[in-house]
């Protein structure tokens, strides 16, 4: 054995090791997405099979991300390793446009007369638009609505869901009961979740804002604090609970366990209730309104990363995913409502007592989308936890939050030189 | 070179040097896969941290801006960073002594001639080889409002809180989990240390009429010093870097009560996409660990008898 042999062998080994890191399977279209439910995953697989049958020569490789979707996708986008078509929540569009990692789709739309972009709910399509260019297409959406337990309403002598904040609090009081007579309350009126999106409808209904039209903090204003104060008071009055107070994982889990009579959630919660708490009766209603009606709309869709190797093939898959045929498949999943009006009509959403509520809420809903550093949202989350979990005073907590995030220009720490763009900020 | 090897090769033979070279080559050859992987994924990034910390490093931009010490200056004004520093300090001060003491007690116990000794050794060690994700999920259930811990407490008429959901108890609850999961591992280290103390010392002491406490104080404790240094050092480093349980159980909350330095670093890099800022915090964490370990070395002095 000569002395140089081990070195050469080492180099061969390293080369072989690094070679293994290369990209396999370069001719298929890579698709990624999160998995909202097993039903959705099965549908995606059926969907890919159908697409491949209709498009011979365009194999699809599905690479779902099962956890921490955005953490992983952001890294992939930054390093140019993202799949050709990526599922994306409209929330992230302003940030990703600013990072310049998405492909504008307007050219494809112009050259593709059979796609009918006018069929989309305009508000949902606009959620993927930035500075006039389109960076994604909506797949489905859900607004927030009120879930209530009709059996508990009957027992409390209530016929209709609450329509105003006053009724909401009053009903919650009547629904808070000691059902087994052991002297302690075991059924509460309402379960609130401390995340911003569940307080926002109340803020907007109170004509408050999280961010103003210029993208600056508006959560120090009285209208914001008033809305949080109303919700916090329901908790201190003992007629509302946080999910953890009753040993539930999240607010709809508390609802499913029959510990609360009302909770706010999206259409996805219906799937959860049917699968996990099949015995709990539920109905849905529009959110109780304050000074005006308001709700939040969460929009999911697909986009194409700018650094995709074959934009035309990616477009073929994207147009199918968000086209009419694709929409007909998605509508079966029940994780969201169809983004296309024609599909909504076809599937008779208007006549579905459960789903039509989410459709009607869209009239007064605003898109869940802020152009703000994630750090600010996390700081907001901590402040909301302080308010709802520890009973911290609302106004001082919000003032402190404002001070923390505005210090040192950290509010938009990664958006130097860009005008902030906030869909949910300025009233539409 | 060991005694055995010297006998085999024979001292002073002319072929000695090339032979040794060849051995070194062979050693490097066999180490190379590990060395390559470690350099690529551990040593390289480790050194690179010290570069990134001085930049506004954003993966989405082709060029990175040099900031000088601006990241470090910003850290000094960041309340969340100080909250993380405080939580981490509390964590280390609580976990390290508790896990060391518990590990020592367990080792002393299973070093005796007790029945089912093998069973207890295995039982105490199992948490150390169980995935931290799994133990986190089990403890989430134990600590939940209707969980096992509160059930036990309710037998004594105590109404327990939602341990992880309460800013007051969350950090303590995660600390207790870590004491439980790591002390089994350190118990094994102490066991090895205990068994390396020559039995003849104990016999001699017994003949001289030394009490059990005196034997422990003057034979066991000095004999365990190198092990103690090992356990405390690893304990300190591990505690300063606590991440997985925080990530799994509380996500730094509620109200930042469980945000530790490594969780802060992770968030700054992978959620806020500020790699330079995260690197600066990592450099500070490195400096703290280095400093504490050196101080600790002065106190324990493993090489002193």
The residue that leads in pLDDT, A246 or A264, is: A264
In a domain, A423, yes or no: no
Across the interface, of A71, A101, A385, the residue whose CB is closest to B270 is A71
| Smallest Cα distance from A247 to chain B, Å | 5
Indicate whether B44 and B142 sit together in one domain.
Answer: no
The chain B residue lying nearest A8, using CA atoms, is B29
CB atoms within 10 A of CB A225: 23
Mean pLDDT of A223-247: 92
> Best residue in B40, B144, B165 to probe A by mutation, most A CBs within 10 Å?
B165
Indicate whether A239 and A284 sit together in one domain.
Answer: yes
The residue that leads in pLDDT, A292 or B128, is: A292
Residue-level pLDDT at A347: 86
Between CA A52 and CA A327 the distance in angstroms is 17
The residue that leads in pLDDT, A183 or A385, is: A385
Does the distance separating the beta carbons of B21 and A245 come in below 8 Å?
no
In a domain, A425, yes or no: no
Across the interface, of A10, A101, A242, the residue whose CB is closest to B32 is A10
Indicate whether B21 and B167 sit together in one domain.
Answer: no
Between CA A246 and CA B290 the distance in angstroms is 45
Indicate whether A166 and A267 sit together in one domain.
Answer: yes
Between CA B97 and CA B183 the distance in angstroms is 11
Does the distance separating the beta carbons of B274 and A408 come in below 8 Å?
no
Residue-level pLDDT at B95: 93
| Smallest Cα distance from A71 to chain B, Å | 6
Q: Which residues pair with A147 in a beta bridge?
A: A263, A284
Mean pLDDT of A359-377: 89
pLDDT band at A143 (very low <50, low <70, confident <90, very high): very high
Domain that holds residue A100: 26-143+297-367
| Smallest Cα distance from B256 to chain A, Å | 6
Bond before A408 cis per omega within 30 degrees: no
| Smallest Cα distance from A192 to chain B, Å | 14
Does the distance separating the beta carbons of A407 and B162 come in below 8 Å?
no
pLDDT in tens, B262-288: 999 999 988 888 889 999 999 999 999
| Smallest Cα distance from A380 to chain B, Å | 10
pLDDT in tens, A303-318: 999 999 889 999 999 9
In a domain, A17, yes or no: no
Does the distance separating the beta carbons of A247 and B162 come in below 8 Å?
yes
* Contact residues on chain A for B146, CB-CB shorter than 8 A: 247
Indicate whether A156 and A258 sit together in one domain.
Answer: yes
- pLDDT of A84 higher than 60: yes
Indicate whether B215 and B258 sit together in one domain.
Answer: yes
In a domain, B10, yes or no: no
Mean pLDDT taken over chain A: 86
Does the distance separating the beta carbons of B272 and A404 come in below 8 Å?
no
pLDDT in tens, B147-204: 888 889 888 888 888 888 888 898 999 999 999 988 888 998 998 888 888 888 888 8
Contact (Cβ atoms closer than 8 angstroms) between residue A171 and residue A262 = yes
Indicate whether B45 and B173 sit together in one domain.
Answer: no
Between CA A426 and CA B21 the distance in angstroms is 73
Indicate whether B76 and B43 sit together in one domain.
Answer: no
Residue-level pLDDT at B303: 65
pLDDT band at A160 (very low <50, low <70, confident <90, very high): very high
Interface of A with B in 376-405 (CB under 8 A): 378-379, 381-382, 385-386, 389-390, 404
Residue-level pLDDT at B119: 84
Q: What angle in degrees, to the nearest 10, is found between the helix axes of B44-52 and B275-300? A: 120
Q: Which residues pair with A145 in a beta bridge?
A: A265
Indicate whether B170 and B222 sit together in one domain.
Answer: yes
Please state the domain count of chain B.
2
Q: Which two tokens stand for residue B238?
A: 């591990």
* Contact residues on chain A for B80, CB-CB shorter than 8 A: 379, 404
* Contact residues on chain A for B77, CB-CB shorter than 8 A: 407-408
Contact (Cβ atoms closer than 8 angstroms) between residue A387 and residue A232 = yes
Chain B contact for A77, CB < 8 A? yes
Indicate whether B185 and B237 sit together in one domain.
Answer: yes
In a domain, A419, yes or no: no
Mean pLDDT of B34-53: 90
In a domain, B305, yes or no: no
Between CA A266 and CA A278 the distance in angstroms is 17
Indicate whether A274 and A390 sit together in one domain.
Answer: yes
In a domain, A241, yes or no: yes
In a domain, B263, yes or no: yes
Does the distance separating the beta carbons of A389 and B167 come in below 8 Å?
yes
Contact (Cβ atoms closer than 8 angstroms) between residue B197 and residue B219 = yes
The chain B residue lying nearest A386, using CA atoms, is B255
In a domain, B162, yes or no: yes
* Contact residues on chain B for A375, CB-CB shorter than 8 A: 267-268, 271-272
Indicate whether B99 and B236 sit together in one domain.
Answer: yes
Indicate whether B98 and B115 sit together in one domain.
Answer: yes
Does the distance separating the beta carbons of B59 and A78 come in below 8 Å?
yes
Indicate whether A90 and A221 sit together in one domain.
Answer: no
* Contact residues on chain B for A17, CB-CB shorter than 8 A: 33, 36
Does the distance separating the beta carbons of B272 and A414 come in below 8 Å?
yes
Mean pLDDT of B72-80: 87
Query: Which of B66, B83, B107 is the last residue before a domain boundary?
Result: B66
Q: Percentage of chain A surpassing pLDDT 70?
A: 89
| Smallest Cα distance from A338 to chain B, Å | 30
Indicate whether A351 and A205 sit together in one domain.
Answer: no
Indicate whether B60 and B77 sit together in one domain.
Answer: no
Indicate whether A272 and A212 sit together in one domain.
Answer: yes
In a domain, A59, yes or no: yes
- pLDDT of A1 higher than 70: no
In a domain, B8, yes or no: no
Distances (CA, A) of B250 to A267, B92, B139: 27, 18, 11
Helices (H), ranges, A206-308? 222-236, 251-256, 268-276
In a domain, A243, yes or no: yes
Does the distance separating the beta carbons of A71 and B255 come in below 8 Å?
no
**CA B108, B111, B116, B118: dihedral to nearest 10 degrees?**
110
Indicate whether B192 and B249 sit together in one domain.
Answer: yes
The CATH number of whichever domain residue A114 belongs to comes to: 3.40.190.10
* Contact residues on chain A for B136, CB-CB shorter than 8 A: none
In a domain, A48, yes or no: yes
Indicate whether A125 and A202 sit together in one domain.
Answer: no
Contact (Cβ atoms closer than 8 angstroms) between residue A140 and residue A338 = yes
Does the distance separating the beta carbons of B274 and A414 come in below 8 Å?
yes
In a domain, B281, yes or no: yes
* Contact residues on chain B for A413, CB-CB shorter than 8 A: 272, 274
The CATH number of whichever domain residue B265 belongs to comes to: 1.10.3720.10
Indicate whether B61 and B131 sit together in one domain.
Answer: no
Domain that holds residue B56: 15-66
Indicate whether A138 and A150 sit together in one domain.
Answer: no
Tokens 């070395």, residue located: B297
- pLDDT of B13 higher than 80: no
Residue-level pLDDT at A220: 86
Query: Which of B66, B87, B104 is the last residue before a domain boundary?
Result: B66
Please state the domain count of chain A.
2
Indicate whether A126 and A165 sit together in one domain.
Answer: no
pLDDT in tens, B191-234: 888 888 888 888 888 888 888 888 888 888 888 888 888 898 89
Distances (CA, A) of A1 to A7, A282, B9, B21: 12, 78, 19, 13
Indicate whether A265 and A180 sit together in one domain.
Answer: yes
In a domain, B59, yes or no: yes
Does the distance separating the beta carbons of A245 and B59 come in below 8 Å?
no
Indicate whether A333 and A351 sit together in one domain.
Answer: yes
In a domain, B223, yes or no: yes
């Amino acid at each position: 054995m000569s002395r140089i042999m081990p070195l050469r062998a080492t180099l061969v080994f390293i080369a072989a090791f690094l070679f293994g890191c290369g990209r396999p399977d370069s001719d298929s279209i890579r698709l990624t997405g999160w998995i909202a439910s097993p039903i959705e995953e099965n549908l995606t697989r059926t969907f890919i099979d159908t697409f491949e049958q209709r498009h011979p020569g365009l194999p699809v490789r599905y690479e779902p991300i099962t956890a921490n979707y955005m953490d992983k996708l952001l890294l992939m986008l930054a390093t140019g390793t993202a799949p050709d078509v990526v599922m994306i929540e409209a929330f992230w569009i302003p940030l990703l446009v600013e990072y310049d990692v998405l492909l504008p789709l307007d050219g494809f739309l112009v050259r593709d007369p059979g796609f009918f972009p006018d069929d989309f709910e305009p508000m949902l399509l606009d959620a993927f638009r930035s500075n006039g260019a389109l960076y994604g297409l909506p797949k489905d959406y859900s607004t927030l609505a009120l879930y209530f337990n009709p059996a508990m309403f009957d027992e409390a002598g209530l016929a209709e869901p609450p329509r105003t904040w006053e009724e909401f609090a009053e009903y919650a009081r009547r629904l808070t009961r000691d059902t087994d007579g052991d002297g302690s309350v075991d059924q509460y009126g309402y379960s609130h979740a401390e995340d911003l999106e569940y307080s926002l409808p109340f803020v907007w209904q109170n004509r408050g804002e999280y961010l103003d039209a210029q993208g600056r903090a508006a959560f120090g204003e009285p209208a914001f604090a008033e809305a949080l104060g109303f919700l916090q008071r329901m908790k201190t009055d003992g007629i509302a609970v946080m999910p953890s107070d009753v040993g539930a994982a999240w607010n709809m889990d508390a609802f499913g366990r029959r510990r609360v009579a009302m909770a706010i959630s999206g259409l996805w919660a219906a799937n959860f209730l049917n699968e996990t708490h099949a015995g709990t009766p539920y109905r849905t209603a529009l959110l109780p309104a304050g000074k005006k009606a308001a709700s939040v709309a969460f929009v999911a869709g697909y986009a194409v990363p700018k650094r995709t190797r074959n934009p035309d093939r990616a477009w073929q898959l994207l147009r199918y995913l968000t086209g009419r045929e694709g929409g007909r498949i998605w509508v079966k999943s029940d994780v969201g409502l169809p983004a296309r009006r024609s599909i909504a009509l076809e599937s008779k959403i208007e006549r579905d007592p459960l789903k039509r509520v989410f459709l009607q809420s869209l009239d007064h809903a605003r898109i869940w989308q802020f152009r703000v550093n994630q750090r600010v949202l996390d700081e907001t989350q901590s402040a909301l936890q302080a308010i709802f979990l520890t009973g911290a005073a609302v106004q001082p907590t919000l003032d402190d939050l404002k001070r923390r995030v505005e210090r040192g220009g950290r509010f938009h720490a990664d958006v130097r030189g860009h005008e902030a763009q906030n869909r949910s900020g300025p009233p539409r | 070179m060991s005694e055995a090897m010297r006998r085999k090769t024979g001292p002073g033979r002319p072929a000695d040097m090339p032979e040794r070279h060849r051995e070194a080559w062979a050693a490097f050859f066999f180490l190379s896969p590990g060395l390559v992987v470690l350099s690529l994924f551990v040593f390289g990034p480790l050194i690179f941290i010290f570069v990134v910390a001085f930049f506004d490093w954003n993966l989405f931009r082709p060029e990175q801006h040099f900031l000088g010490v601006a990241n470090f200056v910003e850290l000094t004004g960041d309340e969340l960073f100080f909250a993380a520093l405080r939580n981490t300090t509390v964590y280390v001060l609580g976990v390290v002594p508790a896990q060391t003491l518990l590990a020592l007690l367990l080792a002393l116990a299973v070093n005796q001639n007790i029945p089912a000794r093998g069973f207890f050794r295995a039982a105490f060690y199992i948490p150390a080889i169980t995935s931290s994700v799994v133990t986190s999920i089990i403890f989430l259930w134990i600590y939940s409002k209707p969980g096992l811990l509160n059930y036990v407490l309710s037998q004594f008429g105590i109404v327990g809180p939602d341990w992880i959901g309460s800013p007051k108890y969350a950090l303590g609850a995660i600390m207790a989990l870590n004491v439980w999961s790591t002390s089994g591992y350190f118990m094994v280290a102490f066991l090895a240390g205990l068994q390396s103390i020559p039995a003849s010392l104990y016999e001699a002491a017994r003949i001289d009429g030394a009490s059990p406490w005196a034997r422990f104080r003057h034979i066991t404790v000095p004999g365990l010093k190198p092990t103690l240094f090992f356990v405390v050092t690893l304990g300190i480093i591990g505690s300063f870097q606590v991440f997985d349980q925080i990530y799994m159980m509380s996500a730094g909350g509620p109200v930042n009560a469980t945000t530790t330095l490594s969780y802060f670093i992770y968030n700054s890099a992978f959620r806020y996409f500020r790699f330079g800022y995260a690197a600066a915090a990592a450099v500070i964490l490195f400096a703290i660990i280095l400093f504490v370990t050196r101080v600790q070395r002065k106190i324990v002095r493993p090489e002193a008898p």
